[in-house]
Structure 1
């Protein structure tokens, strides 16, 4: 667990379950029913993320609060929508005086012009529910998330992460897990066992401190880094949860490739925050890594908690202009210099700072020289700016592929440039599709342990 103590000021007493779901009509009802058996849970929200089956109908039939995305927007967006729906429900409850409201005991006297008594809101009922995120395919095992709820409601943990047992049929390569684990450790000094575990119970104060979320499958990595860097107590809790495992077929490998892409992008967003290493750690790091660790420019202590969680951390922080207006002006000027890059959307202030003093014209030329169709996401550009784009262009052009790569393919391949050309199985005819080639690159990276 992390060494910080509980930081949430007002402890929650109730929990809302949020279940992102896509095409889970066969499993969602069992998951909802099992989640309701968790002590402390009094609300279940299902976010149907663009399903083409009856997921929404089945969830509503199971008496869950259901909200539906018309198109698939990804896991992070579904989590954010679920949390927003919980907040809306709580606002409505407060407007009604709360669950324990009694007209005889709590209402203000009737007054002229009002159709009924005004509720007196009990301040004890205004503490927001904690959020418990569950996978839609957990079925009857969902109630095994009880230890996470207990840790948050009773123990004072701010973010409890489920440690799952080995999953039947799982065929993971480990590269995504190791990338996320090492990235979190580099950024915070804490090394989780299961950094990609999506089953988490989080206080609302912690949740709000972690906004905005990283996109897609990078959301867990981002949540962990943001919670720890804000001083919250994060703890991994064993839980006998089970869900459908990702296989080893091409579809499964492409899923992991998408995970890897999003984790890399999430880590790129957090590049400005890194722990100061002790001298012995620094020597060990310098022996085996090519990445340079910047000298700390400003060091601030991390808030400490109770005596059994009081190990102090220090953090390296990128300097910024002194005032908010100066920071905004600096970011806007820098954003204008990056406006012509092949990017969809605008760079955030953090992303413009992460790009530093990179030559925008040179970066633009290198990005446009890649055999890629489509524009990059801003955080993709932040990552690619620190890679050898000329080597990446040569690798992509020389690949035995029919058609052009997508920006997502380019980011995944860029993260493994040190790996040689992947071996193409004899059973796989060439030319390959960009998806197939990217999957083989990920396989080669696993074999070489290129992290």
Structure 2
């Protein structure tokens, strides 16, 4: 039987968290939607060096394995290629006990009120960065698409499969969510953002945290530059065709 919802979880070295994420998600899905919706769970192991594959295997319907790390965008693309559901739900692998809270994201899609729903996570309880990555992402999304977002970096989102497949390929690395929001808004998709009490692993103000955010800042900047160049080519082509 074709599933109603395909849950796609990209994972890289998440052996310590993914089993709890899958276990809690399945429990909540069975509790809330057992008689109404059917789910398939797809995990994409993006070249992990630990036991992510073995930890996830007993809990999933499909397992995709990359021989080497290709980035989050490529992992999502591989998951979408395997998905059969009319709705797609993207989740991070480290949500653990809060994974089931993401189910609220499919509700506006079921009511046909939106084509994409994005989770707004609660404020962090850990002193992290200074908001530079989030600020860059918000400004870039607004300038390139006109869409005002409060959750530009959220990886927890639901989208109609048919509308998603109208878009271009996923961006690579940490810029994938930013590009996805820009592409969705520019294509006319109806986007909603919902407060969802999800928590996941966070980086602090240590060397590892600053290095992670530095890479994230560079990836978001590269994604915005790539999308800007594509939009510019479209504008130039449009101007020439109107002459």
Question: Normalising by structure 2, what TM-score?
Answer: 0.88
Matched, 1:318 2:236: yes
* CA separation of 1:61 and 1:53: change in aligned 2, threshold 3 A: same
> Taking structure 1 as reference, are residues 13 and 158 closer, same or farther at Cα in structure 2, changes over 3 Å only?
farther
Give the 3-state SS of the residue equivalent to 1:72 in structure 2: coil
Cα pair distance change 1:33/1:129, threshold 3 Å: farther
2:88 to 127, 131, 156: 131
Work out the number of aligned pairs and report it: 231
Are the structure 2 counterparts of residues 170 and 211 from structure 1 closer, same or farther at C-alpha, using a change threshold of 3 Å? farther
Shift of 1:134: 0.5
Residue 21 of structure 1: which of 11, 29, 51 is its match?
A: 11
2:110 and 2:56 map into 1 onto residues whose CA distance is 27
Q: Give SS of 1:20's match.
A: strand
Alignment of 1:187-336 (within 5 A): 187-272=144-229, 317-320=235-238, 322=241
- CA–CA distance in 2 between the matches of 1:150 and 1:139? 21
Q: CA deviation at 1:51?
A: 1.1
Higher share in strand: 2
CA distance in 2, matches of 1:56, 1:197: 24
Tell me the alpha carbon deviations over residues 165-193 of structure 1, each in whole angstroms, 9 at most, x when there is no partner. Answer: 02332512210100010011111222101
CA contact (8 A) 1:48 1:69 kept: yes
Q: SS of 1:223's equivalent?
A: helix
- Partner residue, 1:34: 24
Gaps spanning 5+ residues in structure 2: where?
Answer: none
Backbone CA RMSD of aligned residues: 2.1
List gaps (5 residues or longer) in structure 1.
1-11, 91-127, 275-293, 295-315, 323-451
Return the offset for 1:46. Answer: 0.6
Which segment is superposed worse, 33-42 or 128-137?
33-42
Whether the aligned pair in 2 keeps the contact of 1:20 and 1:46 (CA below 8 Å) is yes
Question: How far has the Cα of 1:155 moved from its partner?
Answer: 4.0
Note the C-alpha offset of 1:45: 0.5
Instruction: Return the TM-score normalized by structure 1.
Output: 0.49
Confirm or deny that 1:48 pairs with 2:38. no
SS of the equivalent of 1:77 reads helix
Query: Structure 1 stretches (4+) deviating beyond 4 angstroms?
Result: none
Aligned-partner SS, 2:65: strand
Q: CA deviation at 1:41?
A: 5.0
Change (3 A) 1:170 1:29: farther
Q: 1:244 to 1:170 in 2, by over 3 A?
A: farther
Secondary structure of the residue aligned to 1:246 is: coil
- Partners of 1:71 and 1:249 in 2: CA distance: 28
Q: Tell me: higher relative CO, structure 1 or 2? Use CA pairs within 8 A at least 6 residues apart.
A: 2
Asked whether the equivalents of residues 148 and 162 of structure 1 are also in contact (C-alpha less than 8 Å), the reply is: yes
Indicate the structure (1 or 2) with the bigger Cα radius of gyration. Answer: 1
SS of alignment partner, residue 209 of structure 1: coil
Contact 1:28/1:137 (<8 A) preserved: yes
